[in-house]
Amino acid sequence: MNITVKNEKLNKWIQEVSEMCQPDDIYVCNGSKEEYDNMIKKLIESGIAIPLKKRPNSFLFRSDPSDVARVEDNTYISTPTQDKAGPTNNWIAPEELKKTMRDLYKGCMKGRTMYVIPFSMGPIGSPISKIGIEISDSPYVVVNMHIMTRVSDRVLELLGSEGDFIPCLHSIGAPLAEGQEDSKWPCAPIEQKYISHFPEENLIWSYGSGYGGNALLGKKCLALRIASAMARRESWMAEHMLILRLTSPEGKQYHIAAAFPSACGKTNLAMMQPSIPDWKCECVGDDIAWMKIGPDGRLYAINPENGFFGVAPGTSYETNPMAMDSLKENVIFTNCALTDEGDVWWEGMDGDVPTHTIDWKGNDWTPESTTDAAHPNARFTAPASQCPVICEDWEKPEGVPIDIFIFGGRRSTVIPLVHEAFNWDHGVFLGSTAASETTAANIGAVGNLRRDPFAMKPFCGYNMGDYFQHWLDMGDKLGDNAPKVFYVNWFRKRPVGNFLWPGFSDNRRVLKWMCDRVEGKVGAVESSIGFLPNQEDIDLSGLDITPDDMKELMSVDADALNAEISDIENHFSIFGDHMPERLKQQLKEFKRRLG
């Protein structure tokens, strides 16, 4: 081991893990640039990282084709009873799961270095931040954690000898025998992959995958699954939400937190540049919000992350110029295509399709190829500080006050462009029934409708029925200070198939309407699903959209909604006696309104 660790709990844990996993070496990370550069150098030498000629200090990695996404079927919330994990989580009893995983961990780091990564989620030392220590045998994880979290020896200093942290154990599950040659992306077969959470112990054990949220344990595992359980115990909120700041021409600031399921354009909205002049839009975070009630009774949010782990395909100067400008240097790309000029490329990027690339599997690719050049879940890992519109207050320890919550999903039919909840309970009802058509970020068939309450279904670390109740309880605590709640659908299509709403920077028009509602400047029309905008209140200037399309976009079809009632009833029924009465009441009222 390269340094002496003073923290007692950490020392003991390092010892236990190294006895179990039997690495050749132990290295405690300090988060320095020198450390990052050294790791990258080694990764280049072993042919794992490919330096990109066109982007300074940027590298391409290719994962194993079997290890390309979060593995929800192998993700566990291991509480003492299954009831505590609830019906939306996979569950195995803690002792049984630990036994299975201990057997897998036994000797799993042979031939490898065990990295100890001290990190902070949230600014180091902020009262909302949490300290985690990830132990991992993947150098790819180390360099990604450097960007996505705050890895630093200051974290160890802050811990001192007695301080507490969240232990996050990760192994790719691929020990090396004497003399065995390593593969470029070692990992375990799918049946040996386990992403396990023990929320009552604040503990994470991950085995077998080196990819994204399976391996960068600060993100989905700590900042959402473990943090959501902590947040319930401690009366705060850990949500799968982007955070943005809008500033009106008069200089008034509005902060919006929005929850969309994976790959529904969250990163695009977080960095959106308004198409309406004089309004300014800045990004605070693109994926996760931790929120606490401040001394003034309002809800304050921080982004616990330090970088963006965004989906590359579809990202372009047209869809998200600010993301593109964040990717010019110091970026890790995973599973993108490599051009002959030494740059990355992906489907949906601006400009001409290259005549030849090396695809994400390392094979020659031309436009005639029948496969994708980049994997649909190819990612960029970029420092948030590189985003040209990062909000100057994004690292403010106390966070920013939230005025508006938005829920949404990808629905080609039925759900209008925007509606507003009647009140907090109705807003919680909208969040709890949110649904979206599935995409490539989660394993499973693409295009099926799935209920994804609050975009938290894969990320809630306890019984979701209790999570709904937690939202109701937070509303009770916030009272009149509670943010207003809206629901959007950017993805409604014409019956013939193309999108009705231009989306992207024009979504700003919808956000402006929300701000006007917060100010009480405009009225709204009551409908069965919530308040709808008066058409004249959404600024459509300069937009090429016909009144008929606008009508279709805002239409509420009672028959289609009625047809979804039984699906909502089934969805609620799985929570049994954990389902809050107040939401059942909301469903009753919804049915009554539909008539």
What is the binding site for ligand OXD (CB under 6 A)? 70, 212-213, 262, 287, 309, 441
Catalytic site residue 264?
yes
**C-beta closer to ligand OXD: residue 274 or 285:** 285
Other beta carbons less than 10 A from residue 362's beta carbon = 12
CB of 219 to ligand OXD, least distance (A): 7
**For the chain, what's the residue count?**
595
213 is in the binding site of which of Mn ion, ligand OXD, none (Cβ under 5 to 8 A by kind)?
ligand OXD
Element (DSSP H or E) covering residue 166? strand 166-171
- Could you give the residue ranges of the DSSP H alpha helices within 289-350? 321-326
- Reading phi first (left if > 0) and then psi (alpha if -120 to 50, else beta), residue 319 is in alpha
CA distances from 466 to 62, 228, 593 (A): 40, 11, 27
Nearest to ligand OXD of 133, 455 (CB atom): 455
Strands 337-339 and 344-345, bridge-based pairing: antiparallel
Q: CB 310 → ligand OXD: shortest distance, Å?
A: 8
118 binds, options Mn ion, ligand OXD, none, Cβ within 5 to 8 A by partner type? none
C-beta pairs of 437-440 under 8 Å, 24+ apart in sequence = 437/409, 437/410, 437/411, 437/412, 437/491, 439/261, 439/262, 439/263, 439/264, 439/376, 439/410, 440/69, 440/263, 440/311, 440/375, 440/376, 440/377
How far is the C-alpha of 64 from the C-alpha of 334, rounded, in Å? 11
Q: Are the beta carbons of 508 and 514 closer than 8 angstroms?
A: no
In the complex, least distance from residue 442 CB atom to ligand OXD, rounded to whole angstroms: 7
Minimum separation from the CB atom of position 333 to ligand OXD (A): 15
Tell me how crowded residue 154 is: count the other CB atoms within 10 A of its CB: 15
> Which of residues 211 and 487 has its CB atom nearest to ligand OXD in the complex?
211
Q: Which of ligand OXD, Mn ion, none does residue 441 bind to, with CB < 5 to 8 Å depending on kind? A: ligand OXD
Name the catalytic one among 29, 168, 221, 264: 264
d(CA 571, CA 371): 36
Closest CB to ligand OXD among 28 and 145?
145
Q: Binding partner of residue 452 among Mn ion, ligand OXD, none, CB under 5 to 8 Å per kind?
A: none
Dist CA 35 CA 31 (whole Å):
7
Q: Minimum distance from CB of 213 to ligand OXD (Å)?
A: 6
Instruction: Answer positive or negative: Cα dihedral of 503, 509, 300, 453.
Output: negative
Residue (287 or 516) nearer to ligand OXD, CB:
287
Question: Is 239 a residue that touches Mn ion (CB under 5 A)?
Answer: no
Closest separation in Å from C-beta 320 to ligand OXD: 15
Helix intervals (H) in 207-263: 212-215, 227-234
- The residue range among 165-173, 182-190, 281-289, 488-496 that interacts with Mn ion, by the rule CB under 5 A, is 281-289
Determine the size of the site formed for Mn ion (CB under 5 A): 1
Cα separation, 401 vs 16, in Å, equals 42
Collapsing DSSP to helix, strand or coil, 172 comes out as coil
CB 118 within 8 A of CB 131: yes
- Measured from the CB atom, is 219 or 232 closer to Mn ion? 219
Q: Out of ligand OXD, Mn ion, none, which partner does residue 7 contact, by CB within 5 to 8 A per kind?
A: none
Minimal CA–CA distance to 205: which of 173, 159, 177, 182? Answer: 173
Q: Which is nearer to ligand OXD, 262 or 528 (CB)?
A: 262
State the minimum distance, in angstroms, from the CB of residue 174 to ligand OXD: 23
Q: Which residue is nearest to ligand OXD (CB)?
A: 262
Q: Can you tell me which residue has the tokens 């929320």?
A: 199
x/- site string to Mn ion, residues 283 to 302, per CB under 5 A?
Answer: ----x---------------
516 binds Mn ion (CB under 5 A): no
Minimal distance, residue 157 CB to Mn ion, in Å:
31
Query: Of the two residues 67 and 287, which places its CB atom closer to ligand OXD in the complex?
Result: 287
**145 vs 136: CA distance, rounded Å:** 11
Binding site for Mn ion (CB under 5 A): 287
Q: What are the catalytic residues?
A: 264
